[in-house]
Chains A and B, each alone.
Chain A
Amino acid sequence: GENVEQHPSTLSVQEGDSAVIKCTYSDSASNYFPWYKQELGKRPQLIIDIRSNVGEKKDQRIAVTLNKTAKHFSLHITETQPEDSAVYFCAASRTDKLIFGTGTRLQVFP
């Protein structure tokens, strides 16, 4: 069935360093890949997304890359700040149903 694997499960970085989170997906027909940030006790919020006709997308300190051949996509956060601390989820979709990864808890230490 459809599956999205995400790693690492936890990631600790020093403020100002970069953070990278990686996901792989099983359904080769997937064509939409969003990333969500979830702070403790709050709803998931979309931070960036990419479609299968694009290899990379950037929005200020956040970028996402997609390798369709390898069925990999990654989230890159540069110049991390303490407020980036949260759980990040990747997801994949080929219709409108999103299949989520298991999440990465990012901690940014000042």
Chain B
Amino acid sequence: DTGVSQNPRHKITKRGQNVTFRCDPISEHNRLYWYRQTLGQGPEFLTYFQNEAQLEKSRLLSDRFSAERPKGSFSTLEIQRTEQGDSAMYLCASSLAARQGGGYTFGSGTRLTVV
């Protein structure tokens, strides 16, 4: 287990299509986070899970976005009816809940381009 793994690394899609990204966290980490990063900006919080429970979801996350972590291991982030404004880097991170606010390890991200 070498870290947080995300795939695909790059995704180009046409506007209106659905896309799904996957994140495999560090195996012993029970918390998993999704962030979005646009050029020149800091990562923006989307949602996070503790085990399989989705504990918080950003108010900025429209109903076109949905995330799951069905068995408390890997997670998927789906965007329905993609728009050009969805183009961004989608970052996943994981941590141990025992270390409050600490130990975030980020994946390399999935870069989404909506054309």
User: Chain A residues near B41 (CB, 8 Å)?
Assistant: 102-103
Would you give the shortest CB distance from A4 to chain B, in whole angstroms? 8
Is B108 a contact of A42 with CB atoms below 8 Å? yes
Which one of B33, B45, B104 lies within 8 Å of A34 (CB-CB)?
Answer: B104
**What size tier do the contact residues of chain A reach?**
20 to 34
**Which residues in A have their C-beta under 8 angstroms from that of B43?**
44, 89, 98, 100
Decide if A46 touches B104 in the complex (CB within 8 Å): yes
Do B101 and A103 touch (CB < 8 A)? Answer: no
**Closest chain A residue, CB of each to CB of B44:** A100
Answer whether residue B25 sits at the interface, using C-beta atoms and an 8 A cutoff.
no
Q: Contact between B104 and A98 (Cβ–Cβ < 8 Å)?
A: yes
Residue from B42, B104, B109 within 8 A of A103 (CB atoms):
B42
Smallest CB-CB A-B distances: 7 pairs? A100-B42, A32-B101, A93-B101, A43-B106, A89-B42, A100-B43, A44-B106
Known contacts A98-B104, A101-B42, then 9 further A-B pairs from the complex at CB < 8 Å, ordered by chain A residue: A43-B91, A43-B107, A49-B102, A51-B101, A91-B42, A95-B56, A96-B33, A98-B101, A103-B42
Chain B positions within 8 Å of A, measured between CB atoms, are 31, 33, 40-45, 48, 56, 91, 95, 97, 100-109
Listed A/B pairs (29) with beta-carbon separation below 8 Å:
A6-B42, A32-B100, A32-B101, A34-B101, A34-B104, A43-B106, A43-B107, A43-B109, A44-B43, A46-B105, A51-B101, A96-B31, A96-B48, A96-B95, A96-B97, A96-B100, A97-B45, A97-B48, A97-B56, A98-B33, A98-B43, A98-B45, A98-B104, A99-B45, A100-B44, A101-B42, A102-B40, A102-B41, A102-B42
